Amino acid sequence: MQITPSLEIDEAELEERYTRASGPGGQHVNKTESAVQLRFNLAASTSLPPAVKARLVRLAASRLTKDGVLVIRAEETRSQERNRAAARERLKALVLEALAPPKPRIKSRPSLSSIKKVKAAKAIRGTRKSLRQKPGTED
């Protein structure tokens, strides 16, 4: 399965299981297995670099089994072939999202005027609280 021109997932690493889809559909849906469950063993995969695997684990944590298998289920259409294509497209989108390295955090600091506003508000709050004390008790 081609992800990018330089990255490809081996078809042997993908496993497809077909099940009956839930929901309405009449008599036909009760006897055809049109839903697709695409399983990709992420832990044992040799196609993806370790950094991409780590980002993919974070992105798709809810879809991972305990043994590191990524499970994508597609049952939107009545056609098994279209559901199969949809599941593969979702896997491709997830891997493409994991390929993009995270943006580095840019340190920021508050502006001088906002610091002055905070300090002025603290001073006002402090004097307001000191005025609540009984006369003669200074701490």
pLDDT in tens, 25-65: 666 667 788 889 999 988 888 888 888 888 888 888 888 88
In a domain, 20, yes or no: yes
Q: In terms of residue numbers, what domain contains 94?
A: 11-99
Say what the pLDDT of residue 34 is: 83
Cα distance between residue 125 and residue 101, in whole Å: 45
Portion of the chain with pLDDT greater than 70, in percent: 93
Q: Where are the alpha helices (DSSP H) in 25-111?
A: 50-59, 80-99
In a domain, 134, yes or no: no
Summarised one tens digit per residue, pLDDT across range 77-128 is: 888 899 999 999 999 999 899 888 888 999 999 999 999 999 999 999 999 9
Confidence of residue 11 (pLDDT cuts 50, 70, 90): confident
In a domain, 92, yes or no: yes
Average pLDDT of every residue of the chain: 87
In a domain, 85, yes or no: yes
Q: What separation, in Å, do the N-terminal and C-terminal C-alpha atoms of the chain show?
A: 73
User: CATH number, domain at 78?
Assistant: 3.30.160.20
In a domain, 117, yes or no: no
Rounded average pLDDT over 12-24? 83
